[in-house]
Chain A
Amino acid sequence: MTWPYKDLIAIHDLKREEIATILDMASSFKEISKRDIKKVPTLRGKTVVLLFYEPSTRTRLSFELAAKRLSADTTALSASGSSFTKGETIMDAAYNVMAMAPDCIVVRYPYAGIPRKMAQLLPCSVINAGDGYHEHPTQALLDMFTMKERFGTLDGLRVAIVGDIMHSRVARSNVYGLRKMGARVVLVAPKTLLPPGVDTWGVDVSAELDPVIPDADVIMMLRVQKERLNRQFFSGDREYSFFYGLNRARVEKMKTDAVIMHPGPMNRGVEITCDAADSARSMILDQVENGVAIRMTLLYLSLGGSVNVD
């Protein structure tokens, strides 16, 4: 098996078979986390730098555990993106990190495009841990892995993604991935939160949540970013949760084996009520668990040697 990429920047870049490979391998890596000794020597001597320019606890922790379970050394660097407006550019920072010879840089950045640029300019592997409104590929992979574990296949699966699609890198990565894997995706949002050009995405769009619920195998709720309120995208929490929130009444209308997902962190009481978040249908903690396995897989694949060597 050959893995042709040193980097993972976007699900948009991947082919169906490549996504399938990742999802298949992830179950092998998941098994490692179930052992008493949750560590294999695979990436011994490799250095993984976590460059996080946006607050994140869960994704950073997940990458850190993934790297450590493969015996890589990790070091994390967090800063606010705005520090780059005074003199040092993000690329300066990247070159500085590069001078310390890491094998892989995992980067989270508040604006789109920086991981792609770093991947082009740096010789080490670059894994995108979320950039602006662009993509969050490992989140989509762990979501797809969770769905595949639950349902056996993604082909024909009906997935509803609900909420702020426009500003969601998670939604974008999931749409690209799920479409490639043959799932049927429906996006549910007020029109103000749908991205321009959504008609070219090959998905259904619904302004209402209720009619979508009985058909959905997976309902993925996106986090409502409170700061969006300032920009008049919707009128407030109360109206939002009335129309787009997942509550007990809506959960009861779901298919028998349908599940609830959320990339976290949740706004309990806004897009999801406590009884929905904590119900037996909720896969939210499975998503977190699977995140480590997916990230181990990607570290393994990305660090698996250079494609430039003949």
Chain B
Amino acid sequence: MNDQPVNTKEVNDILNNLAGTLLDSIQKWEDVVFIGIRSGGVLVAKKVVDLLEEKTGKDIPLGALDIALYRDDLSKMRFYPEVRKTDIPFSVDDKTVILVDDVLHTGRSVRAAIDHIVDLGRPMRIYLMVLFDRGGREFPIQADFVGKQIDLSDEKIIKIEASEDTEATIDVIICEVNR
């Protein structure tokens, strides 16, 4: 195992840039809600929402989406993944949803997340925001807001974890796994 932590400053810069881009792109914040895909996407969304609330002075709703029940590979798995709670304490009807994931790769998680969201209601529109886009798409899905493009071999994965360092909020580690 060869773990490479991405340094905290770089991560914070990426998050700040994302928040900045969002502020530039979206004028009306009244109907904007954030929905993070568990678990990495929720961490990223939380950080970005914190930054935006600081800058706009508004409360921005944040929900967490568990996509385990919407995966398309269940029948291929030996064991089903653990199911956690979808926790969206607001209606998505007529909202502008910023769907947040940590890493965009094949596009399958995003497909599942969109299916899940439309089961919850009918948003006005859905944007996709990701911290990293590592390519390798299997579905025709692209992000609207990308923190950083990154090239990684298939043996590597990016792990996003809650940080114990209060400065950082999230830790990003790139590590090699045996597939």
Please list the residues of chain A having a beta carbon within 8 angstroms of any beta carbon in chain B: 1-3, 25, 27-29, 31-32, 35-37, 39-42, 45, 70, 297, 300-301, 303-307, 309
Contact = CB atoms under 8 A, between A and B. Distances in A.
A25 B83 contact: yes
B86 A31 contact: yes
A309 B119 contact: no
Contact of A35 (B82, B84, B120): B120
B77 A304 contact: yes
Nearest to B87: A31
Interface stretch (B13-21, B66-74, B100-108): B66-74
B79 interface: yes
Given A27-B85, A42-B74, A36 B121 contact: yes
B80 interface: yes
A217 B111 CA distance: 46
Nearest to B79: A2
Given A40-B70, A41-B70, A41-B115, A29 B80 contact: no
B28 interface: no
A42 B69 contact: yes
Given A300-B80, A306-B78, A28 B85 contact: yes
Nearest to B85: A28
A192 to B, nearest CB: 44
B85 A31 contact: yes
A205 B16 CA distance: 64
A134 B84 CA distance: 32
Interface string B26-37: 000000000000
Contacts of B82: 1, 25
Interface residues of B, number: 21
A32 to B, nearest CB: 8
B66 A28 contact: yes
A40 B69 CA distance: 6
Contacts of B86: 28, 31-32
Contacts of A45: 75
B81 A1 contact: yes
Interface in B47-100: 66, 69-70, 74-75, 77-87
B80 A39 contact: no
B77 A305 contact: yes
Contacts of A301: 80
A296 to B, nearest CB: 9
Contacts of B83: 25, 28-29, 297, 300
B163 to A, nearest CB: 24
21 contacts: A1-B79, A1-B82, A2-B79, A25-B82, A27-B85, A28-B84, A29-B83, A32-B69, A35-B119, A35-B120, A40-B69, A40-B119, A41-B69, A41-B70, A297-B83, A300-B69, A301-B80, A303-B80, A305-B77, A305-B79, A306-B78
A25 to B, nearest CB: 5
A305 B80 contact: yes
A304 B77 CA distance: 8
B70 A42 contact: yes
